[in-house]
């Protein structure tokens, strides 16, 4: 491209110093071409490849005149057709061209790769202060650490590798060739049936497979809903406060204004939802994130009444299966299919990295959501879908859930003991279920109700910063707040072994003393 004077810095620099302009053509010795190395019957391909490599690595810079085909053929002792065909291929790809009296000239070289930064720049101390920064959670995730107590991840060492491989083998032995083609954007019928049965057994939901859209996790489900709600003229969505930073960012990226609605000991404040005037709400009724509160019976009925009046409820059922002391509360969706869009996934059941989940939407929204899914990616990968369907149908997934539930429970107990020992002033919330708990400091209420911008004597971002300096990753509660409230932390206990949990909480205790000092 240098020949055209409109190219990249690197290649134009190269050409300035080395371009032979209209000098004599190079000869076959310019590349130490040894036709004896060409495979029998593959001389054209060999010559094309040698010339292309020489152009790519700069031995034949842009502007170089190549020898006439007759001359090169004689030098290499090949037929002229071999050379003309190699030239033709290079001309076809735009790298050489006939230039009248100058003959055949190199006109464009592949650009070399440039050095790229290894990833987004990590903001260091600014990470925790910039609560709304896109990708803050990702940036924290990418940092090395000693102990990771970030919330939202199950026991990944327990991933059922053997059962997965067994199911994959069965799938590969039985899948029809047609299933490898472009499929229904709603997902594989086998998985949609398995999800319906799973939800009936575990979440009290009675649904038809035609209502299920397989998605690449709850994140995608929220993206599809954000898009289709906007098509309906809805551009403000109420969210729980405190509530998940990630899902709030998801809605904002989808073009919505998010409206905070307080959460108290009974869950989402439905009266405040009504007063806020948003026509849609994103909620986590079975186990509110991050407080762990269960939406109580009366609030549930009140929320469904709001939905019956035209409100859209988006139920994010992200970790409801992990309840330790009694069976999980059935999903809101089980009581009212019409007003509830229900999203769930295997991220907390098996592994977030599988990126697979499900979205159930009321009939009047189904076509728009299927269209959104079609244009998002034409559907989710088939093998993961079929393997998951087998694990659900065979009971393996429930076996796995029972297994990790008992491990998670033990880890929760370790964390509770560690908090009593190392963070004696902290109040614990939401320990009855889930993969995380919330602690607050220095406020008798301990929920999002009270407090100024500094609900305690310190900022929880400073505490998270001090903990990270000691090698422990946690989420400051203020990351997940839209309005000020008591300082706190959100602590995941499911991912790592008991010893790490105890040590991590002890280090947080030390960090707290630093922060208060």
Q: Does 341 bind its own copies (CB under 8 A)?
A: no
Q: Does 126 bind its own copies (CB under 8 A)?
A: no
Q: Token pair for residue 486?
A: 């008591």
Torsion of CA 168, 174, 176, 180, to 10 degrees: 0
Least Å distance between CB 8 and its own copies? Answer: 6
Span interacting with its own copies, options 130-138, 410-418, 436-444, 450-458, rule CB under 8 A: 130-138
Q: Token pair for residue 251?
A: 């809605």
CB nearer to its own copies: pick between 25 and 135: 135
Q: Does 56 bind its own copies (CB under 8 A)?
A: yes
Three-state DSSP class for 460? Answer: helix
- Beta pairing partners, 281: 238, 313
Contacts of 173 (CB under 8 A, 6+ apart): none
Q: Does 16 bind its own copies (CB under 8 A)?
A: no
- Residue 381: count other Cβ atoms within 10 Å of its Cβ: 14
Three-state DSSP class for 341? Answer: strand
CB nearer to its own copies: pick between 32 and 162: 162
Judged by CB under 8 A, the residue of 122, 180, 403, 450 near its own copies is 180
- Residue 66: count other Cβ atoms within 10 Å of its Cβ: 24
CB nearer to its own copies: pick between 160 and 260: 160
Residue 290 in contact with residue 477, Cβ under 8 Å?
A: yes
Judged by CB under 8 A, the residue of 61, 151, 185, 311 near its own copies is 185
Give, for 473, the enclosing helix (H) or strand (E).
strand 472-473
H helices of 188-266, where?
189-203, 217-231, 245-253
Judged by CB under 8 A, the residue of 1, 131, 416, 428 near its own copies is 1
Q: Does 275 bind its own copies (CB under 8 A)?
A: no
Contacts of 353 (CB under 8 A, 6+ apart): none
Q: Does 48 bind its own copies (CB under 8 A)?
A: yes
- Residue 34: count other Cβ atoms within 10 Å of its Cβ: 10
Least Å distance between CB 445 and its own copies? Answer: 22
- Pattern of binders to its own copies over 248-267, x per CB under 8 A? -xx--xx-------------
Least Å distance between CB 338 and its own copies? Answer: 6
Near its own copies in 278-297, by CB under 8 A: 294, 296-297
Total chain residues near its own copies (CB under 8 A) = 120
- Pattern of binders to its own copies over 192-221, x per CB under 8 A? ------------xxxxx-xx---xxx-xx-
Q: Does 483 bind its own copies (CB under 8 A)?
A: no
CB nearer to its own copies: pick between 103 and 484: 103
Span interacting with its own copies, options 299-307, 460-468, 479-487, 498-506, rule CB under 8 A: 299-307
Residue 514 to residues 426, 462, 511, Cα–Cα distance (Å): 16, 10, 5
Q: Look at residues 405, 416, 357, 363 and name the one whose alpha carbon lies nearest to residue 381.
A: 357
Q: Is the Cα torsion angle 283, 289, 291, 297 positive or negative in sign?
A: positive
Q: Does 27 bind its own copies (CB under 8 A)?
A: no
CA distance 472 to 83: 64
Q: Does 24 bind its own copies (CB under 8 A)?
A: no
Least Å distance between CB 112 and its own copies? Answer: 6
Judged by CB under 8 A, the residue of 168, 264, 393, 502 near its own copies is 168
Least Å distance between CB 300 and its own copies? Answer: 4
Least Å distance between CB 393 and its own copies? Answer: 19
CB nearer to its own copies: pick between 141 and 403: 141
Judged by CB under 8 A, the residue of 25, 58, 103, 135 near its own copies is 135
Per-residue DSSP letters for 399-420?
HHHHHHHHHHHHHHHHHHHHHH
Near its own copies in 351-390, by CB under 8 A: 351-356, 363, 366-367, 370-371, 374-384
CB nearer to its own copies: pick between 89 and 436: 89
Near its own copies in 72-101, by CB under 8 A: 85, 89, 91-97
Tokens 């959460």 sit on residue? 263
Judged by CB under 8 A, the residue of 126, 165, 421, 469 near its own copies is 165
CB nearer to its own copies: pick between 99 and 445: 99
- Beta pairing partners, 345: 357
CA distance 365 to 339: 10
Q: Does 338 bind its own copies (CB under 8 A)?
A: yes
Q: Does 41 bind its own copies (CB under 8 A)?
A: no
Contacts of 428 (CB under 8 A, 6+ apart): 416, 419, 437, 438, 439
Q: Token pair for residue 344?
A: 């769930």
């Amino acid at each position: 491209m240098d020949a055209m004077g409109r190219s990249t810095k690197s290649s134009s620099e190269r050409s300035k110093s080395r371009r032979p302009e209209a000098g004599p053509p190079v000869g076959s010795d310019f590349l130490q071409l040894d036709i004896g190395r060409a495979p029998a019957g593959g001389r054209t391909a060999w010559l094309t490849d040698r010339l292309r490599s020489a152009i790519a690595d700069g031995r034949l810079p842009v502007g170089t005149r190549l020898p006439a085909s007759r001359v090169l053929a004689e030098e290499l002792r090949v037929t002229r057709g071999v050379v003309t065909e190699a030239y033709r291929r290079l001309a076809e790809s735009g790298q050489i061209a006939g230039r009248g009296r100058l003959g055949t000239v190199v006109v464009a070289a592949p650009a070399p790769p440039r050095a790229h930064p290894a990833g987004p720049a990590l903001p260091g101390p600014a990470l925790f202060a910039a609560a709304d920064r896109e990708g803050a959670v990702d940036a924290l995730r990418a940092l090395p650490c000693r102990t990771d107590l970030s919330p939202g991840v199950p026991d990944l060492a327990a991933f059922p590798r053997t059962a997965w491989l067994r199911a994959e083998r069965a799938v590969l032995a039985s899948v029809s060739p047609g299933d490898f083609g472009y499929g229904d954007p709603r997902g594989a019928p086998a998985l949609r049936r398995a999800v319906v049965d799973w939800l009936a057994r575990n979440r009290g939901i009675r649904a038809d497979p035609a209502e299920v859209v397989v998605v690449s996790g709850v994140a995608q489900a929220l993206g599809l809903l954000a898009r289709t709600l906007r098509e309906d003229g809805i551009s403000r969505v109420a969210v729980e406060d405190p509530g998940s930073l990630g899902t709030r960012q998801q809605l904002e990226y989808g073009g919505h204004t998010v409206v905070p609605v307080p959460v108290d000991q009974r869950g989402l404040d439905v009266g405040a939802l009504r007063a806020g005037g948003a026509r849609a709400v994103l909620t986590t009724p079975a186990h509110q994130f991050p407080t762990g509160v269960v939406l109580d019976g009366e609030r549930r009925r009140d929320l469904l009444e709001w939905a019956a009046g035209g409100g859209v409820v988006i139920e994010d059922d992200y970790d409801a299966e992990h309840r330790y002391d009694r069976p999980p509360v059935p999903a809101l969706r089980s009581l009212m299919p019409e007003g509830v869009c229900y999203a769930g996934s295997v991220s907390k059941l098996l592994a977030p990295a599988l990126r697979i989940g499900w979205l159930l939407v009321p009939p009047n929204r189904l076509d728009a959501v299927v269209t959104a899914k079609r244009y998002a990616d034409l559907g989710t990968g088939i093998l993961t879908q079929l393997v998951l369907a087998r694990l659900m149908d065979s009971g393996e997934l429930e076996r796995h859930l029972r297994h990790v539930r008992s491990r998670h429970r033990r880890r929760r107990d370790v964390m509770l003991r560690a908090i009593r020992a190392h963070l004696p002033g902290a109040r614990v919330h939401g320990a009855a279920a889930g993969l995380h708990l919330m602690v607050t400091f220095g406020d008798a209420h301990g929920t999002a109700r009270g407090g100024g911008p500094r609900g305690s004597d310190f900022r929880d971002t400073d505490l998270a910063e001090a903990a990270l300096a000691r090698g422990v990753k946690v989420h400051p509660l203020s990351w997940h707040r839209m309005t000020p409230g008591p300082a706190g932390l959100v602590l995941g206990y499911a991912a790592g072994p008991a010893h790490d949990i105890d040590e991590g909480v002890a280090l947080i205790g030390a960090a707290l003393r630093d922060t208060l000092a």
